[in-house]
Structures are given as structure tokens and as C-alpha cells.
Structure 1
Amino acid sequence: MLRWIALVLLVVLIGLQLKLWTGSGGMREVQTLRAAVQKQSGENDKLLQRNQALAADVSDLKHGEQAVEARARAELGLIKPGETFYQVVERPAVSASAPPASGGGGH
């Protein structure tokens, strides 16, 4: 009789171990969820830094004339009266695959 109870308890223990390691809510799922939480935490930190930088930009634009002027110069090409505008145009690079222009004529 004692052997049967021990055998039943052993089978129950094995069943519980299988459920713990392979079943729904088991160790694999817990590890997967921990990795997902860690990844999401990293992404949240990046987004928080981005939001703080954007908030600083908004504050500068609301309260600082220099930030507005710098943005207008960069994005809209602002030139103040009395300033001289210079534009540097670089020559396009010569393509190596283009054949040289020849005077015509063959052999």
C-alpha cells in the first residue's frame, strides 16, 4: 500500500514538473516575458530621452528668439537686412563609367 502511495506521489510530482517547465505559464514563458519586458524598458528609456529633447526644443522655441532664428535660417533660409548671402556650389563629380568624348573618326 505504501508503495502505491509513493508511486502516485512520484507520478504527480513528475506531472507537476512537466507543467512547470513546458506548460502555459511555465518557465519558458516566464523567460520570454522577462526578455520582452527588458526590451520594452530599453525602448521606453530611448523614447523618454527623445521626449525630453523635444520638450527642451519646444521650450526654446517658446521662450528664446535665438532658437527661432536658428531654425528659420536652417529651414527657411532667413537672411537679415545688412547680411550678405553666399552660396557655394560644388561641381558635380565626373562619372568613371562615362566614356571620354572623342573627336569622332575611326580607323
Structure 2
Amino acid sequence: MANRLIPGLLVALLLVLHAQLWFGRGSVPQVKKLERELVAQQKANADAQQRNQQIASELRDLQEGLEMVEELARRELGMVKPNEIFVQIAR
């Protein structure tokens, strides 16, 4: 009787472990799905980081390049500062 009990228990344990491997928490299909989600999230993060860097660069240009913005506003829109006289020379 003991000769059949030990192999039977070992086979049952093997079946339980194998079932966990394929159907339980952390199973092979679930790990594959999580890996696909991870790759997609990493791509989305890289895209967002690139957009953030672009926006930060534009913001830095606007903060540092106010002289350029002022010059364009003066030339194209006729901007005049307070207590300043606007003189336009026609050619």
C-alpha cells in the first residue's frame, strides 16, 4: 500500500504545481500578457517623455527669448511700450 501511496502523492503534487504554472497566479499566459502591457506602457512613456521635452524646450525658448517676441510684436503688430513714441518711416 505504501508503495503506491508515495508515487500517487508525488503525481498529485506534480499536477497541482503544473496547474499553478498554467492557470494560477503568475502563470505563463498571465506573464506574457503583462510583458505585452509593459512594452506598450514603456512606448507610451517614451512618447510622453519626448512630448514633455519638446514642451520644456518651447517654454525655455519663450522664457529666454522675450526679446525676440517683443521684436516681432513691434515689427508686425506695432507694439508700443508706455511712454514711448512710435515713429514709422515709409520708404
- TM-score w.r.t. structure 2 length? 0.69
1:79 aligns with 2:76: yes
Aligned length: 75
Looking at both structures, which has the greater relative contact order when contacts are Cα pairs under 8 Å and sequence separation is at least 6?
A: 2
CA RMSD in angstroms comes to 2.2
Structure 1 residues 49-88: aligned runs within 5 Å: 49-64=50-65, 65-66=67-68, 68=69, 79-81=76-78
- Structure 1: 5+ residue stretches without partners: 73-77, 83-107
What letter corresponds to residue 58 of structure 1 in structure 2?
Answer: L
Percent of aligned pairs with the same residue?
33
The structural deviation recorded for 1:25 is 2.3
Measure, in 2, the Cα distance between the counterparts of 1:18 and 1:32.
18
- TM-score w.r.t. structure 1 length? 0.60
Q: 4+ residue stretches of structure 1 with deviation over 6 A?
A: none
- Structure 2: 5+ residue stretches without partners: 79-87
